[in-house]
Amino acid sequence: MRWRGKFPMDKPVQLRSILCVHQGSELYGSDRSFLQSVKSLRRSHPDAHINVVLPVQGPLVELLQEFADEVVVREMAVLRRGGFLRSFMPYLGRLPGFVRRAHADCRGKDLVYINTVVLLDFILVSYQPGSRAFIHIRETPGILLRMLFSLLLAPSRAKLIFNSNFTRNAYFLLGWKPGCVIHNAAQDYDFIEPMSPSDAGLRILHLGRFNGMKGQELLLEAVAALSTEEQQKLRIRIVGSEFGNQNGNEARIRKHSAALGLDGLVEVLPFTPFPEKLFAWADVVVVPSTRPESFGRIAIEAMSAGRCVVAANHGGLSEIVTPCVDGLLFRANDVRDLRSRLRQLLHDREMLLQLGKQGRVSYKRRFTEDGYEVKFTQCITHKAGGGF
């Protein structure tokens, strides 16, 4: 955790009533990270009353019920990054009503935890003097959207939490505001068996949204650039789903795979909120994001499972992987460099095993849930005064 600005450290706050709000419920990375934050608040404040508000039903709801006293699903003013203007326009006339409802949710709370920057109604409520709120920034969209979000956040009285140094630096316009950097954490997959030293092939896993930035097509092109003999030793699983009405991405991935002649090697599978079996199957987890990730949670999940990570060398991923120590990095958007890394692992299983083993060591040292809880709780509870 790296601090920017000052939080008084001598007066921990006893929280009795907490509100936590989030923009999704599918158990992708930001959803899992939100669950960790709520779990940390429950463990550090066992007697507090914790309310959660979400905009949609999903598997996250059931998991939250173990830690929250109440989980409410209702419409919220969520700005979807995939279509910012399209998602903003319907809220124009209704925004005052959304803000009034958000204010009512916040009233009387000792703490409001706002996860992600797209919850417009709650961010507007955080402008109030004396508000005790934290906004956890997990997104790094393009420069224009970042500037818009920065302008939106500038008047907020909330303290800021960033999921990586890259994210902190991306919002340079907010550099004057108090905040802290806390890397995400992952579940401990210590029950997954280590990779077999005797296997001759390479099982490659890509797990993430079907969209334009997760790099599924880049991975397919790197595999297609290998020799026919090398390809015959590979198995690839691309796992994920599309968001809402953003249709066409899965079809594009399947079409690209077919056009490259990879249909016999590649399986395209639906997203699962419980990826343990996928990690157990895999030898290597590839994170080939074409645009910088704010963090890259899938990389630390792979490390937890003792699987080798091959990731694009930009964004938060560069803070996770130490090249040739606990994983491999390749030049972002470079098909040849990604192909080279896959070829290395295909022909050097000892390297593959060692990187997976050391990745597990790095996970235990830097990305455990217990470590996250300590840093998150310290950030949240050592700031005196305030209330809605």
Same domain, 94 and 12: yes
**Where residue 93 sits, what CATH number does that domain have?**
3.40.50.2000
Task: State pLDDT tens for residues 78-91.
Answer: 987 555 455 566 66
Q: What is the model's pLDDT at position 12?
A: 53
- What are the φ and ψ backbone dihedral angles of 101, each rounded to 5 degrees? -70, -40
Same domain, 129 and 261: no
Task: State pLDDT tens for residues 120-156.
Answer: 999 999 999 877 899 999 999 889 989 999 999 999 9
207: left (phi over 0), alpha (psi -120 to 50) or beta: beta
Same domain, 243 and 276: yes
Cβ proximity of 165 and 181 under 8 Å: yes
For the record, the structure tokens of 259 come out as: 């056009």
Q: Is the pLDDT at 245 greater than 70, yes or no?
A: no
Same domain, 360 and 373: no
Same domain, 139 and 61: yes
Same domain, 120 and 216: no
- Answer yes or no: is 191 within a domain: no
- Answer yes or no: is 178 within a domain: yes
Same domain, 359 and 372: no
- Answer yes or no: is 197 within a domain: no
Q: Is the pLDDT at 362 greater than 70, yes or no?
A: yes
Residue among 123, 65, 70 at smallest CA distance from 95: 123
Summarize the confidence of residues 229-254 as an average pLDDT: 89
Please report, as a single letter, which amino acid is at residue 41.
L
Q: Over the range 54-88, which residues count as b (16 or more CB within 10 Å of their CB) and which as e?
A: bbbebebbebbeebbeebeeeebbbbebeebeebb
Same domain, 230 and 356: yes
The count of structural domains within the chain is: 2
Q: What is the model's pLDDT at position 388?
A: 45
Same domain, 131 and 11: yes
What's the CA gap between 175 and 162, in Å, rounded? 12
- Answer yes or no: is 90 within a domain: yes
pTM score, two decimals? 0.91
363: DSSP letter: H
Q: What is the model's pLDDT at position 3?
A: 37
Please state, rounded to an integer, the average pLDDT across all residues of the chain. 91
Same domain, 15 and 143: yes
Domain that holds residue 296: 202-366
Q: Is the pLDDT at 381 greater than 60, yes or no?
A: yes
Same domain, 207 and 165: no
Residue among 4, 359, 388, 1 at smallest CA distance from 190: 359
